[in-house]
């Protein structure tokens, strides 16, 4: 009897009204006249009453259906005389509720198994039910605390490691909204949780692409990470990323470096790659090929083509220095216009025509200089030499025209110095990870072209390695802050083929990487600039303040987890507050992200100009 009394009291307090109409997943609830206060009292505790953004449940027999209040309005009952009645009697309050899930046993489930009926009762959620729908991890998952609910700071938000980090993550928000802080917070909590775990150190790898130098300070996010501080603004660069020749022998990458055209220069680069692999590290084979080419050139009768090919040979060979001056490699031979042939300048033995007496070519300086040639530690320099050799072969065989191919070689030569400043091909500086499982690459001092190329090259290399290994316990997370720098589909600085390949690499990871243990976290101010394929394939989202209508529309169109209230709140979110949505969250929730210790914060604070100017 006592238990029935408690249930009656409970229902009288927590009931807020009845279903008035049902229109698919949207229902209208008529609120009870005595439930229009901002708070209710139950067993001496103050309970927040229903309002826009609140969660409620509808009881249909033994089925408990959960919904979120999206809006409310009032109607006047014209049948009640106003002059003889209180406001409560002639004004009716209605809630517009969108149904989002149901409670099954002791857990909350997304989606609906059935819809409510008119006159079904609508109730506030109990504390246990509230915790059910704000549970972001399974029983066997480890939880990390990242913040608290904005509407109730006493309710902490802890997220399951497996649910969040075994997924692709998107963090979006305007500059100053706190997106970089959120990125740093979730990864700091993860690293602190597992920092003493050997399996974590051995199996998990994290790569940060840091475009503004926010995470590349020694203590930012976590201590002990490997930092590559790259620069193309100094003569020798700063830190260098170790790469092998094999990493660079990719048709698409080399075509991008050389800005190769599709129909003429790309096939040429494919032939160059084949020749490079044929020669390998065999310096004698290279020298023999080049010597044979010199003989073929000097036996030609076409002066224009011959002189051009000799120019290419001189590009390959070391310079001929006398008294500090490069005097070239043509001092002992010339071309005879009347005889239409190359000849030996020394006429002590008469007029020597190389077409008739090719054995004299072997004594020329240009031929003997081949023995002074040596491969470089720089892959690009070696590949350019191979390109010249390949072009000589093609022009000797009339399979290529100089004006079609030379621009690709010149473009690669223009990138040679920048590549040399940021990559090391010697194999002398150790492995990329260098005894750490967390790497930050600072791209702040790198020019715009290399900012796009470095992430593409490294990401492609690492993804192919993980795809080939396919080890069950291997995990790689690629974190890209300011992702619009490399994931934009609107860039006009590059060719369409280069843009397509860049997006294809990252889109493949987003779509297929999960199978190989490769995941991505992207953060950006401008989600509208990023490929919609990438945004739509993300699993979990932290969405900070967005002011631009185009960005809000992009988020709304591609993220199915957001409801109307969450979308409309985006322009007015405070700094550090975000909407958490996705597979880890059974419904969108507004979260205040916890603070990070000052020494571990990302280096992105806004300058206090009054303090700076008044010192």
Q: What is the CATH number of the domain that holds 79?
A: 2.40.30
Nearest to 185 by CA among 223, 148, 145: 145
482, 414: one domain:
no
258, 232: one domain:
no
* Cβ atoms of 329 and 320 closer than 8 Å: yes
In a domain, 351, yes or no: yes
pLDDT over threshold 60, residue 85: no
299, 345: one domain:
yes
Order of all β-strands in the sheet with 518-524:
152-160, 143-149, 589-593, 577-582, 540-543, 169-172, 518-524, 475-480, 204-210, 438-445, 226-231
Quick check: helix, strand or coil at residue 311?
Answer: helix
d(CA 615, CA 608): 11
| The pLDDT value given to residue 47 | 72
Percent pLDDT > 90 in the chain is 35
219, 328: one domain:
no
d(CA 242, CA 247): 10
Which 8-state DSSP code applies to residue 136?
Answer: B
Find where tokens 């902490």 sit.
156
pLDDT over threshold 50, residue 1: no
Least confident piece of the model among 35-44, 382-391, 520-529, 534-543: 35-44
pLDDT band at 391 (very low <50, low <70, confident <90, very high): very high
Mean pLDDT of 56-62: 91
**pLDDT tens figures, 478-526:** 999 988 888 877 655 556 666 677 788 888 999 998 999 999 999 998 8
* Cβ atoms of 221 and 492 closer than 8 Å: no
Mean pLDDT of 392-417: 89
Least confident piece of the model among 13-17, 42-46, 52-56, 543-547: 42-46
270, 382: one domain:
yes
In a domain, 265, yes or no: yes
Q: How many domains does the chain have?
A: 3
**pLDDT tens figures, 5-47:** 556 667 677 888 999 999 998 999 999 887 777 777 776 666 7
- More reliable by pLDDT, 427 or 336: 336
* Cβ atoms of 248 and 383 closer than 8 Å: yes
196, 181: one domain:
yes
pLDDT over threshold 80, residue 4: no
**Domain final residue pick, 404, 424, 444:** 424
| The pLDDT value given to residue 320 | 84
Percent pLDDT > 70 in the chain is 93
In a domain, 541, yes or no: yes
- 315 phi, psi to nearest 5 deg: -65, -35
d(CA 602, CA 65): 42
What is the residue range of 119's domain?
2-133
417, 549: one domain:
no
- Looking at every residue in the chain, the average pLDDT score rounds to 86
């Amino acid at each position: 009897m006592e238990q029935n009394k408690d249930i009656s009291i409970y229902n009288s307090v927590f009931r807020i009204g009845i279903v008035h109409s049902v229109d698919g997943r949207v229902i209208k609830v008529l609120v009870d006249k005595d439930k229009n206060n901002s708070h209710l009292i139950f067993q001496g505790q103050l309970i927040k009453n229903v309002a826009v953004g609140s969660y409620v449940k509808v009881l249909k027999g033994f089925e408990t259906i959960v919904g979120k209040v999206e809006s409310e309005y009032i109607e006047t009952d014209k049948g009640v005389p106003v002059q003889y009645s209180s406001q409560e009697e002639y004004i009716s309050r209605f809630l517009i509720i969108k149904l989002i899930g149901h409670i099954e046993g002791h857990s909350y489930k997304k989606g609906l198994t059935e819809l409510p009926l008119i006159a079904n009762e609508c109730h506030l959620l109990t504390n246990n039910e509230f915790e059910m729908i704000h549970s972001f991890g399974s029983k066997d998952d480890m939880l990390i605390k990242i913040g608290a609910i904005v509407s109730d700071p006493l309710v902490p938000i802890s997220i399951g490691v497996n649910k969040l980090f075994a997924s692709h993550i998107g963090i979006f928000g305007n500059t100053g909204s706190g997106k970089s802080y959120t990125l740093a917070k979730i990864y700091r909590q993860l690293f602190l949780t597992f920092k003493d775990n050997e399996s974590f150190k051995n199996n998990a790898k994290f790569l940060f692409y840091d475009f503004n130098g926010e995470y590349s300070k020694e203590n930012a996010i976590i201590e002990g990470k490997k930092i590559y501080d790259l620069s193309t603004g100094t003569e020798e660069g700063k830190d260098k990323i170790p790469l092998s020749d094999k990493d660079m022998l990719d048709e698409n990458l080399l075509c991008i470096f050389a800005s190769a055209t599709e129909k003429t220069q790309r096939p040429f680069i494919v032939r160059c790659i084949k020749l490079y692999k044929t020669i390998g590290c065999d310096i004698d084979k290279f020298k023999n090929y080049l010597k044979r080419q010199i003989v073929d050139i000097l036996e030609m009768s076409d002066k224009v083509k011959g002189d051009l090919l000799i120019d290419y040979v001189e590009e390959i060979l070391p310079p001929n220095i006398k008294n500090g001056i490069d005097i070239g490699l043509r001092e002992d031979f010339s071309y005879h216009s009347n005889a239409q042939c190359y000849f030996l300048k020394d006429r002590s033995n008469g007029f020597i025509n190389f077409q008739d007496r090719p054995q004299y070519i072997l004594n020329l300086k240009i031929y003997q200089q081949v023995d002074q040639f040596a491969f470089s530690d720089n892959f690009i320099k070696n590949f350019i030499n191979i390109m010249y050799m390949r072009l000589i072969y093609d022009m000797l065989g009339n399979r290529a025209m100089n004006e079609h191919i030379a621009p690709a070689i010149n473009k690669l030569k223009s990138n040679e110095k920048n590549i040399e400043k940021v990559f090391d091909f010697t194999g002398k500086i150790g492995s990329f990870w260098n005894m750490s499982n967390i790497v930050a690459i600072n791209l702040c001092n790198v020019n715009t072209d290399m900012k796009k190329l470095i992430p593409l090259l490294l990401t492609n290399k690492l993804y192919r390695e993980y795809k080939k290994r396919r080890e069950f316990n291997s995990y790689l997370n690629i974190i890209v802050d300011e992702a619009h720098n490399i994931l934009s589909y609107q860039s006009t600085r590059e060719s369409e083929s280069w843009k397509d390949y860049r997006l294809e690499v990252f889109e493949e990871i987003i779509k297929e990487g999960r199978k190989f243990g490769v995941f991505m976290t992207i953060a950006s101010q401008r989600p509208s600039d990023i490929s919609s394929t990438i945004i739509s394939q993300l699993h979990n989202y932290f969405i900070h303040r967005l002011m631009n209508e185009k960005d809000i529309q992009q988020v709304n169109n591609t993220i199915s987890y957001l409801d109307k209230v969450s979308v409309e709140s985006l322009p007015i979110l405070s700094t550090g507050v975000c909407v958490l949505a996705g597979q880890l969250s059974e419904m969108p929730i507004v979260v205040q992200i916890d603070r990070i210790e000052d020494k571990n914060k990302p280096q992105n604070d806004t300058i206090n100009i009054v303090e700076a100017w008044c010192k």
